[in-house]
Structure 1
Amino acid sequence: MSESFYARATESANHVRNLLPEELKNPHVGIVCGSGLGGLAGMLDQEELFELSYKSIPHFPHSTAVGHAGKFVFGLLGEKKTPVVVMVGRVHYFEGHSIEKVTFPMRVMKLLGIHTVIVTNAAGGLNSEFSVGDIMVLNDHINFPGLAGQHPLRGPNEEEFGTRFPRLSEAYDLSLRKQIHLSYKKLRLTSEKRKIHEGVYVFVSGPSFETRAECRFLRALGADVVGMSTVPEIVVARHCGIRVLAMSLVTNRAVLEPGPRGDSSIIEDMGEEGLKAISEAGAANHEEVLEAGAAAAKDLQGLSITFRCSNPGSRS
Structure 2
Amino acid sequence: MDNVLVKMNEAVAYIEEQAKVKPEFGLILGSGLGELADEIEDAVKIDYEQIPNFPVSTVEGHAGKLVIGKLKGKAVIAMQGRFHFYEGYSMQEVTFPVRVMKGLGVHSIVVTNACGGMNKEFEPGDLMLIEDHLNMTGQNPLIGPNESELGPRFPDMSRAYTKEYIEKAKEVANNLSIKVQQGVYAGITGPTYMTPAELIMLRNLGADTIGMSTVPEVIVASHMGVKVLGISCITDMAIGEELEPLTHEQVVEVANRTKPKFIQLVKEFLAAV
Q: Calculate the TM-score normalised by the size of structure 1.
A: 0.84
Alpha-carbon shift at residue 255 of structure 1 (Å): 3.5
2:261 aligns to what?
Answer: 299
1:89-100 correspondence runs (5 A) = 89-100=81-92
Residue number in structure 2 paired with 1:228: 212
Correspondence for 2:172: 183
TM-aligned CA deviation for residue 9 of structure 1: 0.3
Counterpart in the other structure of 1:36: 32
Secondary structure at 1:257 match in 2 = helix
Q: Which runs of 5+ in 1 are unaligned?
A: 191-195, 259-280, 312-316
Decide whether the 8 Å contact of 1:39 with 1:294 is kept in 2.
no
Separation in 2, partners of 1:8, 1:288: 37
Question: Equivalences for 1:40-189 in 2 at 5 Å?
Answer: 40-45=36-41, 48-78=42-72, 81-145=73-137, 148=138, 150-189=139-178
How many angstroms does 1:53 deviate by?
Answer: 0.5
Q: What fraction of aligned residue pairs are identical, expressed as a percent?
A: 41
> What is the identity, as a one-letter code, of the residue corresponding to 2:177?
R
Q: Which of structures 1 and 2 has the bigger CA Rg?
A: 1
Higher strand proportion, which one?
A: 2
Secondary structure, counterpart of 2:190 in structure 1: coil
CA distance in 1, matches of 2:23, 2:5: 19
- C-alpha contact 1:254 1:284 (8 A) present in aligned 2: no
Q: Which amino acid aligns with 2:16?
A: R
Q: CA deviation digits over 1:75-100, x for unaligned, max 9?
A: 2111xx21101100000000000111
* 1:16 match: 15
Q: Is the 8 A contact 2:18 2:44 kept in 1?
A: no
Secondary structure of 1:248's counterpart equals: strand
Do the aligned residues in 2 keep the contact of 1:124 with 1:254 (CA within 8 Å)?
yes
The answer on 1:247 being equivalent to 2:242 is no
In the other structure, the counterpart of 1:277 is: none
CA deviation profile, 1:220-276 (whole Å, cap 9, x unmatched) = 111000000000000000101100000100000013117xxxxxxxxxxxxxxxxxx
Q: 1:164 to 1:144 in 2, by over 3 A?
A: same
The number of residue pairs the alignment matches comes to 273
2:120–2:239 contact (8 Å) kept in structure 1: no
State the alpha-carbon separation in 1 of the partners of residues 263 and 231 from structure 2: 12
**Of residues 208, 215, 218 in structure 1, which corresponds to 2:202?**
218
Name the amino acid aligned to 1:143: N
8 Å contact 1:40–1:298 — kept in the other structure? no
Pair 1:287 & 2:249 matched: yes
Structure 1 runs (4+) deviating above 4 angstroms are none
Distance 2:198 2:112 in 1: 23
Which has the larger displacement, 291-300 or 124-133? Answer: 291-300
Cα distance in 2 for residues equivalent to 1:105 and 1:234: 12
Contact 1:252 1:289 in 2 (8 A): yes
State the distance in 1 between where 2:74 and 2:241 align: 46
